[in-house]
Amino acid sequence: MKKILAILFTVCCSCAPLLAEEQSTTELSTNKGRTVIDIIRQKPAYASCNYDTYPDSIPENLTPAPMGKRPFYISHYGRHGSRYINKRSGYEIPYKMMVHANGVNELTATGKQVFSEMNLILEDSEDRWGDLTPLGRSQQQHIARRMISRFPEVFADSACVAARSTIVPRCIMSMEAAMMELAQLNPRLHITMDASKSTQWYMNHQDPLLRSKLIPEAQKVYDKYTASRLGNSRLMEMLFKNPDIVKELVDESFFNYYLMKMGLFQLNTHRYQDTYLTDLFTTEDLYRMWQIDNALWYMQYGFCPLNGGDYPYSQRHLLRRIIAEADSCISLEKPGAQLRFGHETVLLPLVCLIGINGYDLQTTDLEELEEKGWWCSSVFPMGSNVQFIFYRRNPSDKDVLFKVLLNEQEARLPIRSDCAPYYHWADFRRYCLKKLDRYEKRRNNSR
């Protein structure tokens, strides 16, 4: 008992200075009154969470910087653009079920058409597993173009642009597409590119101690949450002559989920105009799938207490690196931009770790996620990015401000500010480093 009290005391003490700096209320959601189902009705791809396409029309409105402060440095982490699915196995579950059902002549006319669509998709994807698509390239070009037009001061004259990618080809291609765009817009830029195994420890760190799989207790809660949301008898009746019999071959829940994913994924590929599979599903179907996925992403990559609650700390090296590089760049007269290209499994926990827009939410009630705005699709579609834009009056200005753009829109942080969405760099730095120190101490003690 004493031990428990001691731990509680230590935790409370260590939280005290942090709480003092934090914003008193961290409101969630930046979705401006829209519900998830509204968004899905307008853009079905939103339901596919990490397979969603980038919202490439970004509102122009940016809050003017406090008087006299000008942007001078950008630090960025972005996900690669739209791509093909990584592996054939991503499509195999529904496909094999259809092969079996077709083999016993259980497909309706619509079912046969769906089977034929699936064959076309597989044919299109063959030997393109994980490839960046033309849409993915243009997303990166557009993001780069907007970055330079919104913050021309950072990219003036022969400013340095240091781009770094994970060693995964689609990330390298994304980086190159962005750099080619910048080079066209300002040929005098000093652009360097890098993709090295030696930087994977922070560019694409997956922490084995914080493994993202669900622990058994969390799995039970998740199963309970998804039980009423899985399945789609309407779809079964549409595709199979005898849905009850075919259930021996086709697992309704799996089939429904993976066929929907397969359809939505095509919006990223050369077959983006073909919405045949997506059209099989109602908005309600898509919405239920989003709920299932959103909850899983939260449990695996968010601060979900049911599953250890620490996964976002997997990106502590990246956050420390972002801070260290910013500190170093602030000391320079014209630091330019540091752009990093990686993955959604890094970006989402990073956003949670920093607490951008309230994504550091902790709850054991999965039903709360939607209401409180923990919507993963708003964080990590293909091409998603976090940009830290730094401001100061001149190189000797000690009060450096910065703001965060999540997918190019101004975001809020869980720290106080007298000029939000601008924040004092020193406050943010202190807040993050304390948070990381506290975690690392706890981690070391538990070993």
Partner 1 sequence: MMYEQQMKKNDMHRMTIAILVFCCSLCSMAQTVADELRSDVRRAAGMNYALTLPETPEDTPPPAGKRPFYINHFSCPSDYYLERHYDNPYQTLSRADSLGKLTELGRDVLRRVALLRSEEHERTGELTEAGKRQARDLALMMMRRLPEVFADNSYVDGRSIVQNNCLLTLGEAAVQISQAHQPLRVSTNASHRFRAWLDPRDKELEAHRNDSLAMARYADFTARWAPDNSRLTTALFNDADYVRSIDAAELCRQLFDLACCTQYTDVVGGRALYDLFTPEELHRHWLRRNAWAYIRYGGCTLTGGNEPYAQRRPLWNLLHMGDSIMSLDYPVVHLRYTNESVVMSLVCLMELDGYGVQTDCLDSLEALGWADYRIAPLGGSVMLVHYRTDKNDPDPLVRVLLNGREARMPIATDCAPYYHWLDVKRYYLRKLYAYARTRDDK
Task: Give CA separation, 3 vs 6, 310, 358, in Å.
Answer: 5, 22, 32
- Listed in sequence order, the residues at least 6 apart from 213 whose beta carbon sits closer than 8 Å to its beta carbon are 300
Under rule CB under 8 A, how many of the chain's residues touch partner 1?
31
Say what angle helices 252-265 and 109-125 make with each other, to 10 degrees: 50
> Does residue 195 bind partner 1 (CB under 8 A)?
yes
Please report whether residue 49 would count as binding partner 1 according to CB under 8 A. no
The secondary structure of residue 84, as a DSSP letter, is -
Q: Kindly state whether residue 173 participates in binding partner 1, applying the rule CB under 8 A.
A: yes
We find the least distance from the C-beta atom of residue 196 to partner 1, in angstroms, to be 5
Q: Is 169 a residue that touches partner 1 (CB under 8 A)?
A: yes
Q: What DSSP character marks residue 358?
A: G
8 A C-beta contact, residue 369 and residue 295 = yes
Angle at 369 between CA 366 and CA 372, to 5 degrees: 145
Give yes or no for a contact between 133 and 68, defined as CB atoms under 8 angstroms apart. no
Quick one: 47 or 203, whose CB is closer to partner 1? Answer: 203
Q: Which residues pair with 401 in a beta bridge?
A: 391, 424
Residues 57, 61, 89, 198: which binds partner 1 (CB under 8 A)?
A: 198
Write the interaction track for partner 1 spanning residues 128-157; mark x where CB under 8 A is met and - where it is not. xx-xx----x--------------------
Among 193, 230, 238, 419, binds partner 1 (CB under 8 A): 193
Residue 418 DSSP SS3: coil
- CA dist 307 and 302 (Å) reads 9
- The C-alpha R_g of the chain, in whole angstroms, comes to 23
Which positions from 81 through 120 interact with partner 1, judged by CB under 8 A? none
Residues 360 and 269: their CA atoms lie apart, in Å, by 32
Binding part of the chain for partner 1, among 16-24, 173-181, 377-385, 428-436 by CB under 8 A, reads 173-181
Nearer to partner 1, 356 or 382 (CB): 382
What is the closest distance, in whole angstroms, from the C-beta atom of residue 351 to partner 1 in the complex?
27
Contact status: 177 vs partner 1 (CB under 8 A): yes
167 binds partner 1 (CB under 8 A): yes
Residue 187 engages partner 1 in binding (rule: CB under 8 A): yes
How do strand 190-195 and strand 160-165 relate by DSSP bridges? Answer: parallel
Binding mask 200-219 for partner 1 (x = CB under 8 A): x-------------------
Q: Supply the minimum distance, in Å, between the C-beta of residue 154 and partner 1.
A: 18
**What value, to the nearest 5°, has the Cα angle with vertex 248 and ends 243 and 253?**
70
User: Which one of 34, 96, 197, 220 is in contact with partner 1 (CB under 8 A)?
Assistant: 197
**441 part of the interface to partner 1, by CB under 8 A:** no
**Token reading at 445:** 């003690």
Q: Rule CB under 8 A: which residues touch partner 1?
A: 126-129, 131-132, 137, 167, 169, 172-173, 175-177, 179-181, 183-184, 187-189, 191-198, 200
